[in-house]
Structure 1
Amino acid sequence: MIIRVSEAHVREGMHEEFLARLRELVSTFPATHAGMVRHEVLVDDADPRRVQYVSAWADASALVGYADAEWRTRPVTFPDEERFLTRPLELRHFVTVDVDPA
């Protein structure tokens, strides 16, 4: 499984509007994206301007279907997203490791 994390740094005073737009855009996920296992939005408790969209994917081919062949380096954005952000999205990927090998 591949965990994809897109981190946004939201402009002061735009946090609620950004979250509302993000919720609207992902409201049909994962049903509309083959291979997406789950997703969630994380908001930093100490700094609510830091928002992460976390999605879990069955494999790399599922991510190609969602984000194209450049999925490792190119974040998926929405129109006019830059007006909400203080800098471009930060994108990271993790693979899951079984903590109980038995």
Structure 2
Amino acid sequence: MIVRVSEAHVRPGREAEFVSVLCELVATFPARYAGLLRHEVLVDLADSSRVQYVSVWSDAEALVAYAGESWRTDPVTFPDEETYLAGPLVLRHFGSVAIPG
């Protein structure tokens, strides 16, 4: 399992519109991408300009189908996304560790 976190820093005053566009776009992802186990959009409660799209994937093969061969380094963007952003997306990937007990 691979957890992919894309973090956006949104321009002041554009937060609500960005979240709306992002949610509309990703709503279709479970039907479009096999291997997407779950996903969610998170808005920082202390700073609404920090928005994360968190997606959980079954394996690297599923991520290649979604984001391409450069999934480890290249974020997936939507048209005109840069008009909402104060800077480039920050992309991170995490693997899960079994907790004993």
Aligned to 1:24: 24
Post-superposition shift, 1:2? Answer: 0.1
Aligned to 1:90: 90
SS of the residue 2:30 aligns to: coil
Post-superposition shift, 1:12? Answer: 0.3
Could you tell me how far apart the structure 2 residues matched to 1:78 and 1:56 are?
Answer: 19
Q: If the length of structure 1 is used for normalisation, what is the TM-score?
A: 0.96
Runs of 4+ in 1 over 4 A off after TM superposition: none
Higher helix share: 2
Q: CA RMSD in A?
A: 0.8
Structure 1 residues without counterparts, runs of 5 or longer? none
Post-superposition shift, 1:31? Answer: 2.0
Could you tell me how far apart the structure 2 residues matched to 1:74 and 1:43 are?
Answer: 22
Give the percent of matched residue pairs that are identical in Structure 1 and Structure 2: 64
Could you tell me how far apart the structure 1 residues matched to 2:15 and 2:98 are?
Answer: 35
Post-superposition shift, 1:29? Answer: 2.3
Q: If the length of structure 2 is used for normalisation, what is the TM-score?
A: 0.97
Which letter does structure 2 place at the counterpart of 1:76? V
SS of the residue 1:30 aligns to: helix
Post-superposition shift, 1:27? Answer: 1.1
